[in-house]
């Protein structure tokens, strides 16, 4: 077997991007941190990119303004749909926070921050609780469930639809489109492009309708914010609504899915959380985000000039991927990084990124993760894996890390 981690004086290590790697990438990242912390590799798509694996370098790279978010810096790869948000090249979602740099990013981020405040997320608490209970009601009497399909997947999509102000009768369409995106995450891009196109067309029409009938939802908030001084075009509003959905959906599915899987594999930690859920859930979710977070690699960045990172000078025009999952296991920053410690006090993890692109949905994601996990463990206290010996399959794909299915059993409610 050839080993892409060898060469250039690096001792042989675990291969990247194999099935074993996808199941447990942490040993390969530990090897890179030790021997090639800033490492050029060929991605499964054929694109050559740099992986940044140490915590200190990752934090620096995330905040470095010499790294652009505009995928057109890597023109050929962008045209082939190999960098940027999947499906965008064909569907043309347009400019949004995750592919813009200052000053456009600054203006749009200011506008969305006015509408999407931590207070708005907190006001959403009763609704998230209601949705959580509704999805558990759907399987609680049966004694078994797939926690991805039946629970982690629907909760964030309906929550974001509510937040944006998508009418209830249309929300099932979003569930269908979101399913197309998640199923096709690592496969043919046609499904993703189609789903993105449906969402874009729908959101454009919704924004148009709402202009004449503002409510207290987030889309109305965006329109109001743009009416006070700074301008947000209808295209920009549609791109913003789309990126909130896109960035806030699969990530939260993975927080709930990976988090529950980790808890099921650590009975002691899980029992302590079940005994004192209200006191422990805050730091517990932070540790679950650090230990096996939803976003393995931060979204694409591109060098605009020769840029030194961790002692390596990366030439201009190169794709750079900051490996959040590796940074958050770096022993230079975290004591006993491979140990799950739900009451870890010193935990400045990078699961939500860092710098100007820091996750704007973090308060909502934390709320959803905390409510989903505590409610499930309270209502189904003897929850366990349906088959402890079965291998769990991961969805694959480059940026995200999440399970395909999480089959469990429990005493029916
Ligand atoms: C940005 C993680 C949930 C909306 C980011 C970034 C990360 C991240 C790592 C930075 C990407 C980069 O720098 O390349 C997560 C995780 C979540 C989560 C782990 C769940 C556990 C959400 C939710 C929303 C959301 C619920 C909205 C409803 C966004 C947006 C950005 C972003 C709009 C772009 C911000 C910008 O570029 O200024 N997220 N996210 N995220 N996130 Fe989240």
In 3D space, the residue among 343, 332, 358 whose CA is nearest the CA of residue 282 turns out to be 343
Residue nearest to atom 17 of ligand 1 (CA): 251
Q: Mind giving me the DSSP string for 188-228?
A: -HHHHHHHHHHHHHHHHHHHHHHHTS--SSHHHHHHHHHHS
pTM attached to this predicted model: 0.94
Q: Report the chain's C-alpha Rg in angstroms.
A: 21
Q: What is the distance in A from the centroid of ligand 1 to the CA of 312?
A: 28
Residue nearest to atom 39 of ligand 1 (CA): 359
In 3D space, the residue among 296, 283, 319 whose CA is nearest the CA of residue 401 turns out to be 296
pLDDT at 2: 36
| Residue 320 · residue 326 · CB < 8 Å | no
**Per-residue pLDDT tens for 82-138?**
777 655 555 555 678 998 999 989 989 998 998 898 888 899 999 999 999 999 999
| Residue 342 · residue 267 · CB < 8 Å | no
pLDDT at 12: 82
Could you say which residues of the chain have pLDDT below 50?
1-4, 6-7, 185-188
Q: Please name the residue that has the structure tokens 């759907």.
A: 138
Q: Mind giving me the DSSP string for 74-141?
A: GHHHHHTT-SSSTTHHHH-----GGG--TTHHHHHHHHHHHHS-HHHHHHTHHHHHHHHHHHHHTTTT
Distance CA 41, CA 32 (A): 11
The greatest distance separating any two alpha carbons of the chain, rounded to the nearest whole angstrom, comes to 64
Minimum-distance ligand 1 atom for the alpha carbon of 301: 14
Q: What is the distance in A from the centroid of ligand 1 to the CA of 98?
A: 9
Q: What crossing angle do the helices spanning 104-115 and 218-227 adopt, rounded to 10°?
A: 120
pLDDT at 7: 47
pLDDT at 13: 82
Q: What crossing angle do the helices spanning 234-264 and 218-227 adopt, rounded to 10°?
A: 140
Coil, strand, or helix at residue 307? strand
Neighbours of 301 (CB within 10 A): 27
Coil, strand, or helix at residue 42? strand
pLDDT at 11: 84
pLDDT at 187: 45
Q: Do strands 319-322 and 48-52 pair parallel, antiparallel, or not at all (unpaired)?
A: parallel
| Residue 98 · residue 248 · CB < 8 Å | no
Distance CA 29, CA 153 (A): 28
Q: What is the distance in A from the centroid of ligand 1 to the CA of 10?
A: 34
- Please name the helix (run of DSSP H) or strand (run of DSSP E) that holds residue 51, with its range, or none: strand 48-52
Phi and psi at 328, nearest 5°, equal: -80, 0
ipTM: 0.99
**Per-residue pLDDT tens for 277-334?**
999 999 999 999 999 999 999 999 999 999 999 999 999 999 999 999 999 999 999 9
pLDDT at 75: 73
Phi and psi at 302, nearest 5°, equal: -140, 135
Q: What is the distance in A from the centroid of ligand 1 to the CA of 271?
A: 30
Which of 49, 221, 251 has most ligand 1 atoms within 8 Å of CB, for mutation? 251
pLDDT at 396: 78
pLDDT at 96: 85
Distance CA 48, CA 71 (A): 14
């Amino acid at each position: 077997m050839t080993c892409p981690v060898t060469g250039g004086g690096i001792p042989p290590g675990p291969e990247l991007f194999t099935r074993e790697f996808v199941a447990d990438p942490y040993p390969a990242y530990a090897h890179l941190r030790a021997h090639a912390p800033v490492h050029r590799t060929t991605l499964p798509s054929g694109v050559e990119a740099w992986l940044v694996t140490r915590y200190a370098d990752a934090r620096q790279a995330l905040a470095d303004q010499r790294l652009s978010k505009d995928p057109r810096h890597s023109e050929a790869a962008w045209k082939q749909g190999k960098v940027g948000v999947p499906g965008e090249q064909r569907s043309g979602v347009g400019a949004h926070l995750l592919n813009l740099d200052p000053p456009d990013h600054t203006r749009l981020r200011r506008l969305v921050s006015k509408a999407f405040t931590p207070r708005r997320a907190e006001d959403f608490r009763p609704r998230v609780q209601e949705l959580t209970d509704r999805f558990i009601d759907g399987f609680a009497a049966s004694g078994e469930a797939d926690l991805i399909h039946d629970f982690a997947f629907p909760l964030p999509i309906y929550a974001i639809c509510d937040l944006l102000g998508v009418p209830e009768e249309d929300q099932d369409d979003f569930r269908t489109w979101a399913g197309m995106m998640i199923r096709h995450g690592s496969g043919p891009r046609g499904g993703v492009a189609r789903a993105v196109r449906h969402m874009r067309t729908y959101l454009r029409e919704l924004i148009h309708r709402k202009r004449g009938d503002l409510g207290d939802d987030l889309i109305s908030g965006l329109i109001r914010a743009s009416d006070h001084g700074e301008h947000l075009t209808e295209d920009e509003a549609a791109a913003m609504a789309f990126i909130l959905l896109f960035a806030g959906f699969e990530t939260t599915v993975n927080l709930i899915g990976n988090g529950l899987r980790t808890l099921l594999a650590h009975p002691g930690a899980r029992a302590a959380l079940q005994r004192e859920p209200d006191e422990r859930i805050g730091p517990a979710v932070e540790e679950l985000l650090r230990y096996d977070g939803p976003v393995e690699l931060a979204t694409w960045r591109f060098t605009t000039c020769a840029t030194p990172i961790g002692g390596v000078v990366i030439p201009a025009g190169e794709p750079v991927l900051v490996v959040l999952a590796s940074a958050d296991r770096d022993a230079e920053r975290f004591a006993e990084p491979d140990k799950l410690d739900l009451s870890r006090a010193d935990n400045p993890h990078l699961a939500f990124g860092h710098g100007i692109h820091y996750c704007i949905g973090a308060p909502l994601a934390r709320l959803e993760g905390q409510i989903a996990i505590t409610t499930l463990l309270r209502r189904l206290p003897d929850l366990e894996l349906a088959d402890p010996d079965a291998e769990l399959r991961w969805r694959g794909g480059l940026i995200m890390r999440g399970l395909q299915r999480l089959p469990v059993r429990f005493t029916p409610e």
